[in-house]
């Protein structure tokens, strides 16, 4: 009887948040426990050690687009993102596809799990290997449908359609070279065996999905950092999870340090000197990874940038969210939070004092807490079991066919 283990390749290609890494780390741990041979190919290996240090997996660099290209306008849709990441011309994209196919030939996976990995999906298009995609919905269009416009206003300029056609031409040129049937529309690239959207349906840009889609909420079964040390006192607790890229970060830190609350701010890989400048009796901080889930559970208010992963974790704990977006998709999330009365959106900080007053009010707002509590009670079944278990169950089912 053969004892050869089934091989699963997990990939992350685009996006810049550690949520991709932590999600795949949780999945890898679950797959190892079920006896699979696991390979994880990551866009960024620099911060992966703390997530995978104790796992017997094959850790590899994902083929990624390195040149930095910018647009003279804000990114409006997924095709824009793809055009900035190697999909502008056939030759560079063909090279990326060859890189992925070489990785496939080396690993010889029996199944792919793709986390924001469109080129891995392109490289496997037309193959017999089962594929699962996982993400928050922004980068996982509903197969067979139109591409969403990320702009938070009604636009009739046809921009998204034009950009999709540019991307589609590049993709189909590469597929023709590979003797693979062309795509009729960009969303056809995302026709997979199973889709897992790791947020609540109210935040999905493609709410009318008809494919095999499961909504589920990420829960890390292992802490990837130490517990936070809250300032002493009796006021409400505010947990802030910040990015160094926010253009008004110093002003935001000043506001957090001045508000009448106990604040812990985490900014992984941030400027330690900048963070320490605001440390005081009611404000402490860290530039390292911390136990995000435990901190959110203990907080009265979560402050972030509208990243869907951390927003979902805060809502799962029944906590209101304040979003200070950096990117357009985060702005959309912040607007939805405000629309659902689950938190507040701050597009621009006017003064530190004004924001400090608002933060204290939001941390003590009973209506926000009530709405957040009602929301999570309506969706409590989405948090059980964890994403890792659901994904691993899908791997079992697909490989048992």
pLDDT at 309: 86
Closest to 48 (Cα-Cα) out of 82, 84, 10: 10
Distance (Å, whole) CA 103 – CA 275: 41
Going from the C-alpha of 271 to that of each of 93, 249, 288, the distances in angstroms are 36, 10, 11
Model confidence, pTM: 0.88
Domain ranges of the chain: 7-219+386-399, 237-381
Q: Which CATH architecture has domain 7-219+386-399?
A: 3-Layer(aba) Sandwich (3.40)
pLDDT at 364: 96
Contact in structure between 135 and 214 (CB atoms under 8 Å): no
Burial class of residue 271 in the structure, from the number of CB atoms within 10 Å of its CB (0-12 exposed, 13-18 middle, 19+ buried): middle
pLDDT at 69: 87
pLDDT at 47: 81
User: What pLDDT tens digit does each residue of the chain (401 aa) get?
Assistant: 345 899 999 999 998 777 899 899 999 999 999 999 999 999 999 988 889 999 999 999 999 999 988 888 889 999 999 999 999 999 999 999 999 999 999 999 999 999 999 999 999 999 999 999 999 998 999 999 999 999 888 888 999 999 999 999 999 999 999 999 999 999 999 999 999 999 899 999 998 887 789 998 866 555 567 889 999 988 899 999 999 999 999 999 999 999 999 999 999 889 999 999 999 999 999 999 888 889 999 999 999 999 988 999 899 999 999 999 998 889 999 999 999 999 999 999 999 999 999 999 999 999 999 999 999 999 888 767 788 999 999 999 999 98
Backbone angles phi, psi at 314, to 5 degrees: -65, -45
CATH of domain 237-381: 3.40.50.2000
pLDDT at 2: 41
Distance (Å, whole) CA 9 – CA 40: 6
Q: What is the DSSP letter of 77?
A: B
DSSP code string of 107-152: H--SEEEEES-HHHHHHTTTSSS-EEEEE-STT-PPTTSPPPB-SS
Torsion, CA 161, CA 167, CA 168, CA 169, rounded to 10? 110
């Amino acid at each position: 009887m053969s004892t050869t283990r089934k091989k699963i390749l997990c990939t992350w290609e685009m996006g810049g948040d550690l949520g991709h890494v932590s999600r795949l780390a949780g999945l890898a741990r679950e797959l190892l426990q079920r006896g699979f041979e696991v390979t994880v190919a990551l866009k960024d290996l620099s911060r992966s050690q703390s997530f995978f240090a104790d796992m017997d997996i094959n850790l590899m660099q994902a083929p990624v687009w390195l040149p930095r290209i910018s647009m003279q306008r804000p990114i409006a849709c997924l095709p824009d993102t793809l055009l900035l990441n190697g999909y502008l011309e056939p030759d560079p994209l063909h090279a990326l596809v060859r890189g992925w196919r070489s990785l496939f030939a080396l690993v010889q996976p029996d199944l792919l799990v793709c986390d924001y990995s469109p080129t891995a999906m392109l490289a496997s298009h037309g193959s017999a290997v089962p594929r699962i995609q996982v993400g928050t919905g922004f980068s996982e269009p509903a197969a067979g449908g139109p591409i969403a416009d990320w702009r938070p206003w009604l636009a009739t300029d046809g921009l998204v359609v034009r950009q999709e056609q540019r991307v589609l031409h590049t993709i189909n040129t590469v597929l023709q070279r590979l003797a693979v049937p062309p795509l009729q529309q960009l969303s056809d690239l995302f026709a997979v065996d199973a889709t897992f959207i790791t947020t609540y349906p109210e935040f999905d840009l493609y709410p009318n999905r008809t494919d095999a889609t499961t909504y589920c909420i990420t829960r890390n079964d292992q802490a990837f950092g130490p517990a936070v040390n809250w300032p002493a006192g009796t006021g409400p607790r505010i947990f802030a999870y910040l990015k160094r890229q926010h253009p008004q970060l110093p002003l935001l830190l000043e506001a957090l340090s001045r508000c009448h609350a106990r604040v812990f701010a985490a900014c992984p890989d941030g400027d330690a000197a900048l963070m320490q400048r605001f440390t005081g009796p009611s404000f402490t901080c860290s530039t390292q990874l911390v136990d995000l889930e435990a901190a959110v559970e203990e907080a009265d208010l979560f402050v972030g940038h509208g990243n869907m992963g951390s927003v979902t974790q805060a809502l799962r704990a029944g906590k209101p969210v304040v979003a200070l977006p950096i990117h357009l998709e985060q702005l959309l999330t912040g607007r939805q939070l405000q629309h659902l009365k689950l938190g507040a959106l701050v597009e621009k900080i006017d003064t530190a004092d004004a924001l400090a007053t608002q933060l204290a009010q939001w941390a003590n707002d009973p209506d926000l807490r009530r709405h957040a509590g009602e929301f999570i009670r309506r969706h409590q079944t989405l948090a059980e079991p964890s994403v890792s278990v659901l994904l691993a169950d899908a791997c079992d089912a697909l490989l048992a066919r």
